[in-house]
Structure 1
Amino acid sequence: MYPPSPAAAPFTSADGAPDGHLTAVAAVDLVKVYGTGDTAVRALDGVTVGFARAQFTAIMGPSGSGKSTLMHCLAGLDTATSGRALLGGTDLTVLSDKVLTKVRRERIGFVFQSFNLLPQLTAEQNITLPLDLAGRTAERGLLARLTEVLGITERLKHRPSELSGGQQQRVALARALVSRPEVVFADEPTGNLDSRSGAEVLSFLRNSVRELGQTVVMVTHDPAAAAYADRVVLLADGRIAGEIDRPDRASVAEALQHLGNQR
């Protein structure tokens, strides 16, 4: 009902390697198995999919479909059993832990449902922390632009406990974007926010793609959140089940219902 289009994985070579000019991150025949023997769970079952540069993509599927596992493997937060997880031309599955940590810090931005801010640091210190760890200096112009657009300029000297949930998530967004990463992974970024704050966060992610050329890959269960994306990739039982281009809330909800009925 929702077959992948040719644009779903812009691969060009015979071995499935992505065209780095088009694809920011990609999975090639990615398999993830948890456990062994009779208790083994195949969370990803040979997934091949590409995520285009300067595009906002949502990953969706029923509970247990493998969407979070896919994102975690692509982000280098989990280890694949087999296959490749490619960031540009870099295969994350063959890197040492030390190199992988450096790649995550310097080339990937993260936004999580739980914000993951350090309570002893100010908002500004939390934003610049990844750059500080990498021995880099924040671009003051970009930092000022991000904090102004996010409406947190007046809160930069405050600690997380002095900020609302929406403000904390905006700090996390600024932290993810200030290093100009190749891709931002967002895992249920509005899950702990009220509807108004959630809409503001999603609008900013949308605008970061349009205005900054950012690549965003978001896992969500919410059709309303997915409607902010350029494209939705659907998973079911650890496999790609289709995609929706230019999604709206109704088309996403229909697709999820269809997948649920097939289980």
Structure 2
Amino acid sequence: MSIDVTPAPATGPAAAVPAVRAAGLHKVYGRGETEVRALDGVDVTFASGAFTAIMGASGSGKSTLLHLLAGLDSATAGSVFLGETELTRLDDTALTLLRRERVGFVFQAFNLLPMFTAEQNIVLPLELAGADVDRAWFDTLVETLALRERLTHRPSELSGGQQQRVAIARALLTRPDVVFADEPTGNLDSRTGAEVLAFLRRSVRELGQTVVMVTHDPAAAAYADRVVLLADGRVAGEITDPTPESVLTGLEALRGADVVAQAAGGRH
């Protein structure tokens, strides 16, 4: 376990072409007195085949960063790269196609269509793309996520954990370059949340998936290989081989630094 207050660059083969990368990323909402600077010059790299958590206080910019990395929102300035593709230069049509083919997204609220069965929800992205379903891969996901007996059930007939597992299967079915997860356990009890996190970790270890997750929970972040810490829209440090205790320590250090900065500002 190590805690580092400055982000370390990726090394080895993944450093050449990381799974996703942000360079000089800025995001500003509003203008004038209502202006909010959600991201303020973010430079961060996410290696392929790794599980990374993004953490920070409320308003630190973590969800904004995730949405920009996934192509769900546009940057005010700076660049986002998915592999060698610069998302921030794509038009809406190309961006929609890229999200469909190369990005998976897991939402806190599941985002399943209520009129469809679990199986229909899982295969929906491929059907929208007019692509064939790889039934062997589908079966692997269904078995791994223990959904075989629930495929004909609609979301209202599933528990929260089952709904989230359906959402994860949907995100993984297209074999995306990166799966982005925004508070994926936020609506789940601790036991079910642990099961979901364990599968995300397995998808990295056993299936070679790349996962980038936003969470506020130190226990959830401890499932990751690395935690990126944000504060005031900037990368404030990272934690490698995180544990719940090291994550708490890192977050407390950020809060302490913020208090010192505010006190210093008040003396001027």
Structure-2 separation of matches of 1:19 and 1:131: 30
Say if 2:142 and 2:169, in contact at 8 Å, map to a contact too. Answer: yes
> 3-state DSSP class of the match of 1:7?
coil
Equivalent position to 2:165, from 163, 170, 178: 170
Instruction: Give the letter for the 1:24 counterpart.
Output: A
Say if 2:7 and 2:235, in contact at 8 Å, map to a contact too. Answer: no
**In the TM superposition, what is the alpha-carbon distance from 1:207 to its structure 2 partner?**
0.2
Question: Aligned runs of 1:150-161 on 2, under 5 Å?
Answer: 150-161=145-156
Structure-2 separation of matches of 1:189 and 1:135: 28
Between stretches 183-192 and 133-142, larger displacement belongs to: 133-142
**In the TM superposition, what is the alpha-carbon distance from 1:249 to its structure 2 partner?**
0.3
Equivalent position to 1:58, from 49, 53, 61: 53
**In the TM superposition, what is the alpha-carbon distance from 1:4 to its structure 2 partner?**
2.9
Match of 1:134 in 2: 129
Between stretches 131-140 and 179-188, larger displacement belongs to: 131-140
Contiguous gaps of at least 5 residues in structure 2:
259-268
Structure-1 separation of matches of 2:12 and 2:134: 32
Contiguous gaps of at least 5 residues in structure 1:
13-17
Structure-1 separation of matches of 2:57 and 2:171: 27
Instruction: Give the letter for the 1:207 counterpart.
Output: R
Say if 1:65 and 1:238, in contact at 8 Å, map to a contact too. Answer: yes
Structure-1 separation of matches of 2:97 and 2:254: 38
Structure-1 separation of matches of 2:4 and 2:38: 21
Match of 1:15 in 2: none
Structure-1 separation of matches of 2:48 and 2:6: 18
**In the TM superposition, what is the alpha-carbon distance from 1:5 to its structure 2 partner?**
4.6
Percent of counterpart pairs with the same letter? 66
Equivalent position to 1:97, from 92, 95, 98: 92
Between stretches 35-44 and 170-179, larger displacement belongs to: 35-44
> 3-state DSSP class of the match of 1:117?
coil
Match of 2:39 in 1: 44
2:108 maps to 1:113: yes
**In the TM superposition, what is the alpha-carbon distance from 1:257 to its structure 2 partner?**
1.1
Structure-2 separation of matches of 1:238 and 1:2: 18
What's the TM-score once normalised by structure 1's chain length? Answer: 0.94
**In the TM superposition, what is the alpha-carbon distance from 1:173 to its structure 2 partner?**
0.6
